[in-house]
Amino acid sequence: MEAVGYFAKKLVSTFCYPLSFSLLVLFVGIILWRARRRPRAGFALTLTAAMLLVVVSFPVTGYVLTKALETEAGPYADPSELKRRGVKYIVVLGAELVTAERTPADRMGNSLFRVMEGIRLWRGIEDGVLVLSGGSMPGTSSEAEAMAALPMELGVPRKALVLETGAWDTEGEARIFSRLVGKEPFALVTSALHIPRAMRHFQSLGLNPIACPCEFKIARPLLRYQWFWPNADALLRSQMAIHEYLGRAWLTLKLLFRPSQLPIKAGLCSPTAGFCAIEHSL
């Protein structure tokens, strides 16, 4: 049942993205326009869809949407400050991976930034534990297992690594990690865009995460001549930001109707929802 809900959520959210939504509205508008049943409504929908697609393709649109989230995420974390606050666990959330036979770094995809940031923080915390999170589809290796190869190549010992292989999304990760970290403060490493939503997921379960953002998309302000020159990169940036805003809105609705959530009972090396120590999984 959980798998059905996960795929249903992914399917519905796909049609909420600017490109898919604009094309859907454009398709409906053209049908109404060409059928001559409601030509004015069809023309209005067609024009609206085209304008929406252009607007979200403006660099200034992607910049504004992304900048707001990354500002909320805060700056890079300081390992010495994490150590002072008694942090033991550095939790790295999974992202897209490449399944082809490649080097550990090339397989990382977007996860490379997160894993490297996790390693940087781990090196500054004595006796720290690097927790790599990411489930898998049936018949494939988990994201966490794929992510584990790079830290070991860079000198992180097996005993300092823990894998979480049961969660498919941020909500599942938050529920599972409540079993591991309890009320202890821990470092939560993910992209700056994702940090605000991820923090809220974990905090809604009474956990105490410390935001450790990475992979910032906004490095410098846009030049004025770039503001209104549509391009594919700007469209992608807008879509990524809209994905986070939609996720936050969905989480808000869920918390309104289900204010209390119970953590999943997870044990070491559980094949569905538990943590798996790296020495037992490789």
pLDDT digits (tens, 9 = 90+) for 243-268: 999 999 988 888 887 655 544 444 33
The answer to pTM > 0.85 is no
Q: Residues 94, 193: one domain?
A: yes
pLDDT digits (tens, 9 = 90+) for 169-199: 788 788 888 777 878 899 999 999 999 999 9
Q: Which residues contact 257 (CB under 8 A, 6 or more apart)?
A: none
Number of domains composing the chain: 2
pLDDT digits (tens, 9 = 90+) for 26-36: 888 888 887 77
Q: Residue 221 domain-assigned?
A: no
Q: Residues 234, 101: one domain?
A: no
Q: Residue 242 domain-assigned?
A: yes
Q: Residue 160 domain-assigned?
A: yes
Is pLDDT above 70 for 3? Answer: no
Question: Are 63 and 106 spatial neighbours (Cβ–Cβ below 8 Å)?
Answer: no
Label the pairing between strands 161-164 and 275-277.
Answer: antiparallel
Q: Which domain holds residue 188?
A: 77-216+264-281
Q: Residues 137, 240: one domain?
A: no
Q: Residues 143, 276: one domain?
A: yes
Q: Residues 268, 252: one domain?
A: no
Residue 140 pLDDT grade (very low, low, confident, very high; cuts 50, 70, 90): low
